[in-house]
Amino acid sequence: MEPAAGGLPDPWAPINGYADMALSRPARYASIIKRSLAFFADLLFLSAFVWLMAGISMNIDGFRSGILSMSHPGKIFGYLLFYQHVLAAIYFTLGVGLFGGTFGKRLVGVYVAREDGSEVSIPRAFGRFLAYYPSALIFGLGFLWALADPKAQAWHDKIAGTVVLEIE
C-alpha cells in the first residue's frame, strides 16, 4: 500500500494482487488490536449509514415527524434491525470478496485472504460474515479466540478458512 501525504497508508490505494503478497513472503498475521480497530471503524461507518437508511425508510413510510420519531419505537427498532443485518451482510461480503477488506481493514492496513494466501471469493466472504454470529455467541468468545490462536484466527476465520494479514 502506497503511503499518502503525511506518511500514513492510503486506505483507497489498490491492493494489486494482494494474494500474491501473502504467497511471496511469510505471512504476518494481524494483531487483535488492529482487527478490533478495523471492526470498530467499520461499525461507526455502518451505524451512520444504517441510521440514515432507517430514517429515509421511516419518512417514506409516512413518518413525516422526523427521522427518530419515538411515537412508534417498535417500528423504528424493526427498521434499524433490518438495515443493520442486511447492510452489514452486503458491506462485509463485498468488502472482503471484492477488495480483500472493508474500509476499516484498509484503514488500519490489514486484509483477508484464504489460509493458502489466495483471494477470498464472494461466497466465502458471505460465509465468513454469517460465521460472525457464532463468533459473537458466549460473550464474544469466538472473536477473543484470535488472542490464543497461532494464526490469530477467530472462529469466523476458522469456519471460512481465512486469515487476516498485515499489508506490507
Where in the chain are the domains?
27-166
Q: What is the pLDDT of residue 22?
A: 47
Q: Give the whole-angstrom CA distance, residue 119 versus residue 31.
A: 20
Q: What is the pLDDT of residue 6?
A: 58
Q: What is the pLDDT of residue 73?
A: 67
Q: Give the whole-angstrom CA distance, residue 168 versus residue 149.
A: 22
pLDDT (tens place) for every residue of the chain, 168 residues total = 455 555 665 555 545 555 555 445 567 999 999 999 999 999 999 988 877 776 676 665 554 555 455 556 676 777 778 878 898 999 999 999 999 999 999 999 999 999 998 999 999 999 999 999 999 998 999 999 999 999 999 999 999 999 999 997
CB 11 within 8 A of CB 110: no
CB 26 within 8 A of CB 37: no
Q: Give the whole-angstrom CA distance, residue 95 versus residue 2.
A: 19
Q: What is the pLDDT of residue 145?
A: 96
Q: Give the whole-angstrom CA distance, residue 121 versus residue 127.
A: 10
Q: Give the whole-angstrom CA distance, residue 165 versus residue 168.
A: 9
Q: What is the pLDDT of residue 81?
A: 81
Question: DSSP strand E in the chain: where?
Answer: 110-114, 162-166
Quote the DSSP letter at residue 88.
H
CB 18 within 8 A of CB 112: no
